[in-house]
């Protein structure tokens, strides 16, 4: 069960990374001809407020930077999430908190009412097991 979760997370991380790299690549293709312009703006040769910049070029520059930024942000966020789901399994929880061995309880406050909700990632089918008393996330499982 655990190795299935590991492989599932690893393949999702690969898909997310490749998917985002396509968009980052498109953004780089868009921004590449504008790099001299970007350099001029950064060193102050072009005054943005003075109307010296072509508005189409400015929009292209802003959009491509946004494109690269959002794709990079999502790629990092989703990979961090999936790494967490990959690592923090039921087995991991049981071996990390031996004091909760007898009954499955919260490591933080000791509450035994552990409830579940769908994990934050929209692309994985993980379930988050958390404590309703203190809000601590205990572990993640694959499926229901
Ligand atoms: Zn708790």
Give me the tens of pLDDT residue by residue for the chain, a chain 144 residues long: 578 999 999 999 999 999 999 999 999 999 999 999 889 888 988 877 777 778 888 889 999 999 999 999 999 999 999 999 999 999 999 999 988 878 899 999 999 999 999 999 989 999 999 999 999 999 999 975
128 Cα: distance to centroid of ligand 1 (angstroms) = 14
Residues composing the chain: 144
Q: Where are the domains of the chain?
A: 1-87, 91-144
Which parts of 32-141 fold into alpha helices (H)? 35-42, 55-87, 90-96
Supply the pTM of this predicted model.
0.83
At 106 the pLDDT is 95
At 144 the pLDDT is 59
96 Cα: distance to centroid of ligand 1 (angstroms) = 16
């Amino acid at each position: 069960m655990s190795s299935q979760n590991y492989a599932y997370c690893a393949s999702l991380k690969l898909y997310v990374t490749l998917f985002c790299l396509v968009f980052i690549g498109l953004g780089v293709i868009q921004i590449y001809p504008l790099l001299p312009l970007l350099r001029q703006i950064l060193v102050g040769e072009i005054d943005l407020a003075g109307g010296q910049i072509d508005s189409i070029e400015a929009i292209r520059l802003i959009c491509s930077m946004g494109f690269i930024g959002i794709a990079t942000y999502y790629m990092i966020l989703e990979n961090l999430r999936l790494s967490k789901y990959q690592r923090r399994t039921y087995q991991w929880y049981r071996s990390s908190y031996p004091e909760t061995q007898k009954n499955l309880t919260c490591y933080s406050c000791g509450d035994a009412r552990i409830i579940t909700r769908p994990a934050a990632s929209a692309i994985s089918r993980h379930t988050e097991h958390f404590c309703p008393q203190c809000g601590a996330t205990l572990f993640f499982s694959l499926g229901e």
